A and B are shown apart, each in its own frame.
Chain A
Amino acid sequence: MLFNSFVFAVFLPLVFFLYWFVTHKNLRLQNFMLLVASCTFYGWWDWKFLGLVFVSAFIDYFAGIGIQDTEDPRRRKLLLVLSMSSNLGILGFFKYFNFFVDSFVQAFAGVGIPLEASTLNIILPVGISFYTFQSMSYTIDIYKRELEPTRNPIDFAAFVMFFPQLVAGPIERAANLLPQFYVHKKFDLALAQDGIRQVFWGLFKKIVIADTCAHAVNTIFDHSETMSGSALLLGALLFTFQIYGDFSGYSDIAIGIARLFGFELMQNFNMPYLSRDIGEFWRRWHISLSTWFRDYVYIPLGGSRVSKWKQIRNVMIVFTVSGFWHGANWTFIFWGFLNGLYQIPIVLRKNRRPATKVVAEGRLFPTPREVFQLATTFAATVLAWIFFRAESIGQAFSIIGEIFSPSLLSNPAASLGGFDLRDTVAYSFIAIAVLMTIEWLQRGKKHGLELSGGLPVMRWAAYFAMVAVIILFRRTGGNLDFIYFQF
Chain B
Amino acid sequence: MDQNQKDIMRLLGKLSIFLLPFIPLNFYLYYSSPFFQKQQLYHERIEGFFAKPGVKTLLIGDSHPEVVANKFLNDETYNLSFGGDALKESYLKLKYVLDRPNTVQYLFLTADAHMLGAKRVHSANNSFMNLYVVKTGLYDVYKRPAPSVIGDMVPLFNDSYIEYLNTRIKDAATGNLGKRQLYEELRQDHQKWSRDIPEADRIKYAIATGRGDYRNVLENEEQVTYYKQILDLCKEKGIKVIGVQYPAMQEYIAQCPPETRAKYDAFLQAQGFYALLDYRDLTQDPKLYKNEDHVNDEGAKLLLQRMEQDLGMQLANSSAYSSNSHTSLTSN
CB of A421 within 8 A of chain B?
Answer: no
What residues of A have a CB within 8 angstroms of the CB of B145 in the complex? 6-7
CB of A342 within 8 A of chain B?
Answer: no
CB of B56 within 8 A of chain A?
Answer: no
CA–CA, A473 and B10, complex, Å? 30
CB of B278 within 8 A of chain A?
Answer: no
CA–CA, A189 and B7, complex, Å? 6
Residues of B in contact (CB 8 Å), total 29
Partner of A476 from the list B3, B10, B163, B169 (CB cut-off 8 Å) is B163
CB of A186 within 8 A of chain B?
Answer: yes
Which residues 120-176 in B have Cβ within 8 Å of A in the complex? 122, 145, 147-148, 150-152, 156-157, 159-160, 162-163, 165-166, 169-170
The verdict on A24 contacting B4 (CB below 8 Å), with A193-B11, A196-B15 known, is yes
Q: Are A20 and B8 in contact (CB under 8 A)?
A: yes
Q: Are B159 and A6 in contact (CB under 8 A)?
A: no
What residues of A have a CB within 8 angstroms of the CB of B156 in the complex? 471-472
CA–CA, A6 and B144, complex, Å? 10
CB of A5 within 8 A of chain B?
Answer: yes
Q: Are A7 and B11 in contact (CB under 8 A)?
A: no
Q: Are B14 and A193 in contact (CB under 8 A)?
A: yes
What residues of B have a CB within 8 angstroms of the CB of A21 in the complex? 5, 8
Bitwise, A188-216 to B at CB < 8 A (1) or not (0) is: 11001100100000000000000000000
What residues of B have a CB within 8 angstroms of the CB of A471 in the complex? 156-157, 162
What residues of B have a CB within 8 angstroms of the CB of A6 in the complex? 145, 147-148, 150-152, 157
What residues of A have a CB within 8 angstroms of the CB of B17 in the complex? 460
What residues of A have a CB within 8 angstroms of the CB of B183 in the complex? none
CA–CA, A450 and B151, complex, Å? 29
What residues of B have a CB within 8 angstroms of the CB of A5 in the complex? 147-148
Majority-rule SS of A interface residues: helix
Residue of A nearest to B14 (CB): A193
Q: Are A477 and B11 in contact (CB under 8 A)?
A: no
Q: Are A467 and B18 in contact (CB under 8 A)?
A: yes
Q: Are A9 and B151 in contact (CB under 8 A)?
A: yes
CA–CA, A473 and B159, complex, Å? 10
Q: Are B11 and A20 in contact (CB under 8 A)?
A: no
Residue ranges of B at the interface with A (Cβ–Cβ < 8 Å): 2-5, 7-8, 10-11, 14-15, 17-18, 122, 145, 147-148, 150-152, 156-157, 159-160, 162-163, 165-166, 169-170
Residue ranges of A at the interface with B (Cβ–Cβ < 8 Å): 5-7, 9-10, 20-21, 24, 186-189, 192-193, 196, 423, 460, 463-464, 467, 471-474, 476-477
A-B contact pairs, 24 of them (CB 8 A): A5-B148, A6-B145, A6-B148, A6-B152, A7-B145, A9-B147, A9-B151, A21-B5, A187-B5, A189-B7, A189-B11, A192-B11, A423-B170, A460-B17, A464-B18, A472-B156, A472-B162, A472-B165, A472-B166, A473-B166, A474-B162, A476-B160, A476-B162, A477-B163
